[in-house]
Amino acid sequence: MPDLDQVFSEQGPLAQAAQGYRLRPQQLAMAHAIAKAIEQHEVLVAEAGTGTGKTFAYLIPALLSGGKVIVSTGTKTLQDQLYNRDIPAVRAALQVPVSVAILKGRANYVCHYHLERTRNEGRFFNREDVKYLPLIERYAKVSDNGDKSGLGAVPEDAGIWSFVTSSRENCLGQECAFHKECFVLEARRRAQAADVVVVNHHLFFADVMLRDEGLAELLPASNTVIFDEAHQLPDTASLFFGDSLSTSQIVELARDSLGEALTSAKDFTALPDATAALEKAARDLRLIFSQDTGRLPAQRAQTMPGFQEALQGMQDRLGELVKMLESQAERSEGLKNCWQRGVELVDKLRHWQGEASLDFVRWVEVFSHALQLNATPLSIAEIFNKQLSGQPRAWIFTSATLAVKKDFSHYQGQMGLLEAATGYWESPFDYEKQAVLYAPQGLPDPNSRDYTAAVVAAALPVIHASGGRAFLLCTSLRAMREAHGLLKEAFDKEGWEFPLLLQGEGSRTELLERFRALGNAVLVASQSFWEGVDVRGSALSLVIIDKLPFSPPDDPVLAARIEKINREGRNAFMEYQLPHAVITLKQGAGRLIRDETDRGVLMICDPRMLTKTYGKRIWQSLPPMTRTRELKDVAAFFSQQAQ
């Protein structure tokens, strides 16, 4: 491998390729640690503070290593950024002839079979879908990859996409008439041939568990696997190492069976009635729950009036449809596929209703139009650790938030990485000069009824001093809506003309674009703005956090994990809940300073950070900002900024 000191030096290829480049010792040290892990096939868990340049710190040794590399990141947005911007920049600077491919889940690629079927059957949710279909048809003819992100004229969340893409369940595989033109298979072929493949965490774990997304052949061939945004892995892995069945899957099976029946079994008149009965049974099960969203343990759901009867009704209707599909399966590949999907759903339903296991928690999640039955492992450490065995390769786990006071034991324990090497690199930013951490005085207990009103009252003079330019990050949607209403009242009363934005009033991308363009807006948001949001410059100069982000203790998965840890004689709060809250809080705090020239105030309203004994661990895990409890210090900081 070429000399990394030379690559990162002020006269090296990076400096020549990137305007304004400067050597950051933390970035170079991290690159050396990753190069060593790659050479020696080690497991490395690495935290690098905001501004370290961790993307280049792992890409450069990876691209210079000469082996096959899989890079997995937290979101499709970051995946596209790596593939379209970061990797080409590094490859050009180093002048290395590496080939690169991007691989996403099959739902991201237009499916020729389902596109044709949708056009023939005219299955649409609304008028928008009718308008979008010809655009997708044209795109499928001219695109070389069929990736829906390449068709900007159709929103990524448009309902039409579910009709013109395939799922694991409804893909016909080699029996498909469009097998040779398949965009999914083409993406997999490119990934097989490439030196560097960019995936996302959902795809990685879907493949590990289902062997379905094209990575099954990639992983054995790879020398290095790098997880960026690795703090998201415990939740993603839990999702895939468990099992789930939703009423949406049942409804989709019913609709697909009806479509195939009308095409290939018109004379079998009982089939349409059976699909309608199954769809109704799935909807009846959802209607047992009056709330829009929520999670509850299986035991509680099973005691709700009508739940067991509705579940049994859905199971009976599913069984009846599966028998009919079996009798017609030879008539078309589509009917055969529906029958096989039905058999799989019957098995999942039986499994969920079976005997409880000490290693899994069974729970129900309610969505606005669907219900999901879940079985989630209480620990993923052992399951994930098995993935690391086998052929020697390097595994790199990196993020800006993995440690609590430089201690990685919580993350290592969760992921089964107890033997891994660790590395910690501070941010190169001068936090003491660039930022103030403000903990206001006199706020009530966070569980009190008037807490959100007290937070808004404390925040108003700070928002005024900062001239807007603020995020107010809440730990619940209820608090977010209440805070937004109170701010609106206060702004109207005071005559302040700060634009007020609310999460949900548009996509995250649209809201961020508006926030940046306005320059003095206040955005009130919840979980989806705590991480992966990058607003550089003065448009964001104040981040207000209402409460320490402890997960709600009534969450069924968390409650079961707490019970298990305590049952084993350990302290679940110190070992699990507190570290998890610290890592989440660090993510939220990380929204503030994104650049060497950024300046701002982080306002954490929760008094527990100072009144509770555990508060010290939280305080010490945050960046070394100037700390104050005095409003006048905050006002002075903003007035200096204005000069």
Contact 74/55 with Cβ under 8 angstroms? no
Predicted pLDDT of residue 122:
75
Predicted pLDDT of residue 434:
96
Predicted pLDDT of residue 643:
57
Could you say which residues of the chain have pLDDT below 70? 1-2, 123-125, 209-217, 642-643
Q: Name the β-bridge partners of 404.
A: 407
CA-to-CA dists, residue 204 to 59, 83, 228, 423, angstroms: 19, 16, 12, 24
* Length in residues, the chain: 643
pTM score: 0.91
**All domains in the chain, ordered by first residue:** 24-104+185-234+380-425 (3.40.50.300), 110-165 (no CATH), 241-377 (1.20.120), 431-642 (3.40.50.300)
Phi, psi of 94, rounded to the nearest 5 degrees: -85, -15
Instruction: List the one residue out of 344, 345, 346, 373 whose CA is nearest residue 360.
Output: 373
Judged by DSSP in three states, 102 sits in: strand
Residue whose entry in the numeric block shows the structure tokens 């409003």: 631
Q: Name the β-bridge partners of 69.
A: 196, 224
Judged by DSSP in three states, 210 sits in: helix
Instruction: List the one residue out of 258, 228, 116, 259 whose CA is nearest residue 182.
Output: 116
Give the sign of the dihedral formed by CA 613, CA 615, CA 618, CA 620.
negative
Predicted pLDDT of residue 102:
95
CA-to-CA dists, residue 229 to 356, 368, 473, 499, 540, angstroms: 33, 29, 20, 31, 22
The tens digit of pLDDT for each residue in 181-190 reads: 999 999 999 9
Predicted pLDDT of residue 123:
67
Phi, psi of 209, rounded to the nearest 5 degrees: -85, -40
Give the sign of the dihedral formed by CA 153, CA 157, CA 162, CA 168.
positive
Q: Name the β-bridge partners of 174.
A: none
Rounded Cα gap, residues 7 and 61, in angstroms: 10
Contact 84/9 with Cβ under 8 angstroms? no
Predicted pLDDT of residue 215:
59
Predicted pLDDT of residue 399:
96
Judged by DSSP in three states, 288 sits in: coil
Rounded Cα gap, residues 438 and 509, in angstroms: 29
The tens digit of pLDDT for each residue in 371-396 reads: 999 999 999 998 888 888 777 899 99
Instruction: List the one residue out of 486, 616, 611, 593 whose CA is nearest residue 540.
Output: 593
